[in-house]
Amino acid sequence: MIDFHTHILPEVDDGSTDAQMSLALLKQLNNQGVKKVLLTPHFYAYASSAEVFAERRETSVQELLNELKKDPVDIELYLGCEVLYFEELWRVESLKDFAIRGTEYILVEMPFAPWSENMVRGVEKIIGKGLTPVIAHFERYIKYKGNREKLYEMLEMGALLQMNCKYINDFKTRRRAIRFIKSGAVFAIGTDCHNLSDRAPNYEESVNILKKKLSNSEFKQLMSKPNTILKDAKRIY
């Protein structure tokens, strides 16, 4: 099982605050049955340049790998980031460096507001550069008027959708989550975990619910989809 969205890398964003916490998060996920984790720290182009972010992320990776040397965890790690969309994102020269390492897939966070037609075109331009955007926690945007239609447009253009475990675990949204999954629209699920308290790994709860609400083949299909990306990705641990 794969966690496709995490803030486990230490001291690089608002997620894990040190390498010990990162290790504890990985152990929790491991105990919840997760075998592969995609590391996706926030990249905000308005806050730092692509070069500065890349450097900080690399330092953080080394810190985590050092910790794992002392205390190994039976889990595979892959490197990516969660890039906040902005109109000129497609123009960023080093955009490919922000894709999941070894692949052409890039996790993109969209604005939490009604989207403009320009945003659909912006996503199209990213696709035009040979990258496939995976829209992070897509369920969090569709409450805004008009976004659902634009999201489907992006899906038709080839974008993929990632859903957070919380949407499945929350009783109020569970039925909607299951409907989306059964429709085949969901490419991957992720915990989007940030810490050990209010945004802790919540993968197992989702799995228990999904095993009840989905058929065997639906469950297997959902869990295997992100493997099509990760089989080509560069494993960093």
Name the residues that contact Fe ion, by CB under 5 A: 82, 192
Distance CA(7)–CA(107), nearest Å, equals: 13
The neighbour count for residue 215, using CB atoms within 10 Å, is 9
CB of 7 to Fe ion, least distance (A): 6
Q: Which pair of structure tokens corresponds to residue 230? A: 């990760």
The amino acid at residue 231 is: K
CB of 131 to Fe ion, least distance (A): 19
- Measure the CA dihedral 177/84/122/52, to 10°: -150
Q: Compare residues 3 and 192 and give the one whose CB is closer to Fe ion.
A: 192
CB of 173 to Fe ion, least distance (A): 17
Residue 90 to residues 117, 136, 159, Cα–Cα distance (Å): 15, 17, 14
Distance CA(105)–CA(12), nearest Å, equals: 21
Helix (H, G, I), strand (E, B) or coil at 208: helix
The amino acid at residue 118 is: N
Q: Compare residues 82 and 139 and give the one whose CB is closer to Fe ion.
A: 82
Q: Compare residues 101 and 213 and give the one whose CB is closer to Fe ion.
A: 101
Q: Check if the beta carbon of residue 98 is closer than 8 Å to that of residue 106.
A: yes
Q: Compare residues 153 and 170 and give the one whose CB is closer to Fe ion.
A: 170
Q: Check if the beta carbon of residue 10 is closer than 8 Å to that of residue 21.
A: yes
Residue nearest to Fe ion (CB): 192
CB of 216 to Fe ion, least distance (A): 30
CB of 70 to Fe ion, least distance (A): 27
CB of 33 to Fe ion, least distance (A): 21
Q: Compare residues 84 and 214 and give the one whose CB is closer to Fe ion.
A: 84
Q: Which pair of structure tokens corresponds to residue 5? A: 């969205």
Q: Compare residues 3 and 82 and give the one whose CB is closer to Fe ion.
A: 82
